[in-house]
Structure 1
Amino acid sequence: MALKVAPGPKLSERTTLRLGGRARAEIVLASPEDAHGLADELARHDCRPFVLGWGSNLLAVDTDLDIAVVSLEAGGPEIVEQQACCDGRSGEKVFVRAGGGLMLPKLVNWAAKLGLSGLEGLAGIPGTVGGAVAMNAGSYGRETGELLTRVRLWDAKEGLRWIGPAQWSARYRSFAVDGVAPPWLVLEAEMALESASPEAVRAAVDANLARKKASQPVSAATCGCVFKNPEGHSTGKMLDELGFKGKSLGGMCFSPMHANFLVNEGRGTAKAALELIAKAREAVKGRFGVELELEVRVVR
């Protein structure tokens, strides 16, 4: 199937923070095999690829961008293999495959319905499977990278291929492919889950969702956590202590509910967001001697 090419969208209309200028084009891949023609299409538009799923965890500048938004059709999820557990536990190891464009909450709910355990800690994380892999998204003691067995990847140099754990490094909110510089695209991912009681898996998913709703501004126009948690520290607690909870600037604010969540109050700009972020980093460095590292991805 041929690639579909459309005019570039405004990222302010496609990101959860509601910020960002216009991309040069949008390229839609109906299947991973469509990636074979991606390099030629990017060269035609003289721009770099940028995969955009749900649009979470992004802070895009308000000027026009020299990117082509790459959108992936969902794909899956499906069970590809089942094996008896070999470590003495009951149940089975179940290998599942999901397309990079599949919404992560859909995968979590699908697994819960079938009684497949492993994804419960990812409940409530907005975004796609591809984005979860690329950021090694996680919460409540579980990270995406722990579950992965194979990833189908595309980059301009090597093209389309499957890679295994020996070829990547998954760290806290980071996923790097050995010998491959970004940009690269996650088109499919395979994960190892375990068979369990559907009732137990659903209960764990629901409990994690309730915890998030009680402590995070899940219904606000936010990009999620702005900063990573430095080892031994809680960024939210440090920012709260410094008075950043609810602090606003130019239509942007740190959430009154959780100080590490940046919120667009409806009239915010990327310039104001970046200025507020800089003020927070400076304050934390001055008080705690800690250099905050961004978790949100800035798109320029």
Structure 2
Amino acid sequence: MSLELLHKPDMSALTSLGIGGKARVLARVGDENGLDELARFIEKEGPEVIAIGEGSNMLAGDGELNLALIQIRRSRRAGVTVSENIVRTPADIRLPGLLSVLIKMGLSGMEGLAGIPGSVGGAIAMNAGSYGTEISGTVKRVRLWTPGKGLFWKNASEMDWGYRHFDARTGEFTLVWEAELRLFPSSEEKVRTAVKETFSKKKATQPVTEKSAGCVFKNPEGFSAGKLLDEAGFRGRRLGGMAFSEMHANFLVNTGGGNAAQALELMDLARETVAERSGITLNPEVIILP
């Protein structure tokens, strides 16, 4: 099916945090033909449209959400191709899957992204990064789709990149369809070792196996959000089924039965306390869906 519409999708099943109410509708795009139907869908649904990817960095509100979600789910899975160290990858491939391919090909440059669970498209949309690596450092160009222009390629240098920030400069709703990444030749053993080391480090310091949306706050310039939260007493702080992780204070986790009201109340309390103690205002890294 080129475009599948699911009415009243459950956000708790669509996000890694496992909380949230029901959106208005979810449009799943199965192939390029479905993009024509998607343009008509967006025209009908209006401005409350958002691309969701794997939902690994989203906090969805409780109750009925006036949102139309878009997700790429190719009915015929397009694979990753490699030519002269340029990797072409569909947006709906998950980062762990892409890293597995890069290990086998002995291509280096993305090892620092090990342990990030989202899709390639979501990683580009957030300029995902960790341990000094950002996906923008590898992007050669991105194939974008907009309702007005359809599919087209755009070079990385023509777009805005920043800390957890990406702007395709299209002026309209934009979907990442696929990307070309420029990597560096290495060996399967070296890349595998680097990926394992990165993941082991994260597993030892971050709740990678729990229901989480990753880092909940951005690091203020020159400071660590996790350290500020730790010093303010929020490591392990709980409210109902939501808690700041015992392993890393900047990770909000659903310990079971959590909801968005609890998550947002904890976040507000954390921001107020940190601001009172240090004068620093923490800004959310997680995308909050009203």
Global fold match (TM > 0.5):
yes
Query: Which residue of structure 1 aligns with residue 116 of structure 2?
Result: 125
Query: Which residue of structure 1 aligns with residue 238 of structure 2?
Result: 248
Q: Percent identity?
A: 45
Shift of 1:77: 1.2
Distance 2:79 2:285 in 1: 28
Deviation per CA, 1:158-206: give whole Å up to 9, x if none.
Answer: 332211123211101111122525x421111110011111100000000
Distance 1:254 1:32 in 2: 41
Query: Which residue of structure 1 aligns with residue 139 of structure 2?
Result: 148
Alpha-carbon spacing, 1:223–1:45, altered in 2? closer, same or farther (3 Å)? same
Question: Secondary structure in 1 aligned to 2:257?
Answer: coil
Question: Conserved in 2, the CA contact under 8 Å of 1:250 and 1:272?
Answer: yes
Distance 1:288 1:156 in 2: 45
Shift of 1:70: 1.8
What does residue range 178-197 of structure 1 map to in structure 2 within 5 Å? Answer: 178-181=169-172, 183-197=173-187
Deviation per CA, 1:107-163: give whole Å up to 9, x if none.
Answer: 011101110111101111010000000000011111011111111112234332211
Distance 2:80 2:15 in 1: 24
Question: Conserved in 1, the CA contact under 8 Å of 2:58 and 2:287?
Answer: yes
1:75 aligns with 2:66: no
1:205 aligns with 2:225: no
Query: Which residue of structure 2 aligns with residue 234 of structure 1?
Result: 224
Aligned length: 287
Query: Which residue of structure 1 aligns with residue 125 of structure 2?
Result: 134
Distance 1:113 1:2 in 2: 32
Q: Report the TM-score, using the length of structure 1 for normalisation.
A: 0.91
Distance 1:13 1:47 in 2: 23
The amino acid of 2:67's aligned partner reads I
Task: Note the residue ranges of structure 2 that are not aligned, 5 or more in a row.
Answer: none
Query: Which residue of structure 2 aligns with residue 91 of structure 1?
Result: none
Q: Report the TM-score, using the length of structure 2 for normalisation.
A: 0.94
Distance 1:176 1:298 in 2: 18
Alpha-carbon spacing, 1:30–1:119, altered in 2? closer, same or farther (3 Å)? same
Query: Which residue of structure 2 aligns with residue 219 of structure 1?
Result: 209
The amino acid of 1:126's aligned partner reads P
Distance 1:56 1:246 in 2: 21
Question: Conserved in 1, the CA contact under 8 Å of 2:2 and 2:32?
Answer: no
Task: Note the residue ranges of structure 1 that are not aligned, 5 or more in a row.
Answer: 83-93
Shift of 1:245: 0.2
Distance 1:50 1:179 in 2: 15
Question: Secondary structure in 1 aligned to 2:285?
Answer: coil
Shift of 1:67: 2.3
Question: Secondary structure in 2 aligned to 1:262?
Answer: strand
Distance 2:40 2:139 in 1: 30
Question: Secondary structure in 2 aligned to 1:160?
Answer: strand
Distance 1:132 1:139 in 2: 11
